[in-house]
Amino acid sequence: MGIEEVYQRNLHHKVHKAGWLRAAVLGANDGLVSIASLLIGVAAAKAQNHFAAIGLAGIAAGAMSMAVGEYISVRSQSDIEESDRIMEMEHLLADPEGELEELTQIYRERGLTDSLAAEVAKALTEHNALETHLRDELGQFEHTKARPVQAGVASAISFTIGGVIPFIGAVVPIAGHKSASILFFGALGLIGTGVISARLSGSPLGRTTARVLIGGAIGTAITAGIGALVHASGA
């Protein structure tokens, strides 16, 4: 089996989506929950002045915050990976025999016999010593490496999409009931996020969707309750 065929077979696994899927799901969920909660809280407090402007400002600010936060977070992971890469290069130059023995021990611990472990370690070291150590010693793979720009963009776009869904319910309320409309659109968005997340990750559809929906509902309910208390207190 050639390298290209192995690569194509690996594409059927879900792990190659790890570089952006977490950020996208987090962004969509945060956009839905934070904007729905914001709008419900404003509606519950009867603060109707500049209602649409508040929602749009929340979407814009949240999207930028998510993008920057996700970029910085994933960039930190990328910096660690690069630091480990440089360190491993230095180790290979300074002590190639020790690194070969270290690799042999890794394969022994994975179940290979002493002779086979030594043979595999020698062959892979001759093929590409650095790549082998990054993969088998440190667990670094090309398809799962940190991608900060991709994660930041995915987070910002998904937050915006998620935030727009409850915002539609606020500006075009169903039967004139603004809060109910926000909740309805927000619930639809959370269900959609759960379904898409389950499909992309290969996780159970019902459990994943329920987790996203319940978590979002709790966050929205807490904020709506705070808004109602503010209104009741006359603050």
Burial class (CB in 10 A: 0-12, 13-18, 19+), 126: exposed
Report the pLDDT value the prediction gives residue 220, as an integer from 0 to 100: 74
Element (H, E) at 116: helix 114-136
Residue type, 75: R
Helix (H, G, I), strand (E, B) or coil at 22: helix
- What is the domain count for the chain? 1
Q: Does any domain span residue 214?
A: yes
Residue 16 lies in a domain: no
In a domain, 17, yes or no: no
Check: CB of residue 35 under 8 Å from CB of residue 59: yes
What radius of gyration, in Å, describes the C-alpha atoms of the chain?
Answer: 25
In this predicted structure, what is the pLDDT of residue 48? 58
The answer as to whether 131 is a domain residue is yes
C-beta atoms surrounding 123 within 10 Å: 10
- Does residue 6 form part of some domain? no
Strands (DSSP E) found in 61-160: none
Q: Is 19 inside a domain boundary?
A: no
Domain of residue 196: give its range. 26-230
The overall pTM is greater than 0.75: no
Which residues does the chain have with pLDDT short of 70?
A: 1-24, 26, 41-51, 143, 223-224, 226-235
In-domain check, residue 7? no
Q: CA–CA separation, 222 vs 35, rounded Å?
A: 13
Query: How many residues does the structure list for the chain?
Result: 235
The answer to whether the CB of 159 falls within 8 A of the CB of 26 is no
Q: Is residue 10 part of a domain?
A: no
